[in-house]
Amino acid sequence: MNMLRCLALLFCVICLAGCENTDLMTATEAGLDAVKALTLSDQDVQAIAVKSAEYSDHEHTLATPDSHYAKRLAGLVGQHVQDGPLKFTYGVYISPEVNAFAMANGTIRLYSGLMDMLDDGELRFVIGHEMGHVMKNHIRKKIQLAYAASAVRKGIASQNNTAGDLARSLFGGLAEGLMNAQFSQLEEKEADDYGLGFLKRHRLEPKAAVSALTKIAKLGSGHFFLSSHPDPAKRAARLQAQLDGRAVSVEENQQNFLIRLKEFFESRSSALYRQLNLLLS
């Protein structure tokens, strides 16, 4: 804990150094945010996710329960609101945008533009994909990064100038940052695998995962959704290879590696044990 306090103090000193127009309170908050980004508890993450979801719902038009989009979504996920200990909640934003996102508390939002593009099976894959980002703790990492970014913004805001005014106005963008978060290729692969597994576990057509990504790939390279995601065509080919038995999921690949590693050390240990017995006999 002493080390964390030192980090916070160091952050404040950096903000304060050489500048007469520094807002001491804001600079101090920036240092605390920098530390908290590294030490967020599960309770902190859930609280941030709840507030971010509330902000997002307020900024968008959420489909009412009697709309055909909400009814269609309810028909798709009626039996899949719980996965392990986490309860998922779903909603639709009335917008032509092709997008979907998840929050760490299990909030999942689809855009009506995406629903217009995909059939029911393909939408179930997307839902499973977003659930995967939550279950694999990808969203938690993004919250930590968002908190770190807010620390940087507050550090700038502590300077009483135009840049500081701009940074203060940007501080409310935490939820937007989570909604438009870019995931690594590995994270997207893990979420794709989870989405494919979601279809298989619920005895749904797994080929829908491939067709969903194939349709999304046709949006074109200039589309915002594709600019923030790895190539959907390559992702579709990867899942097709799994369905054909030519490839395995990220998790299976990791498990296979650990098994081979264990077998290697066990074989080496046995050989060394035999040699030791020969020397001692």
Which residues are the active-site residues?
A: 130
Give the Cα separation of 6 and 2 in Å (integer).
6
Give the Cα separation of 65 and 97 in Å (integer).
20
> SS3 for 15?
helix
Write out the E strands in 104-190: 107-111
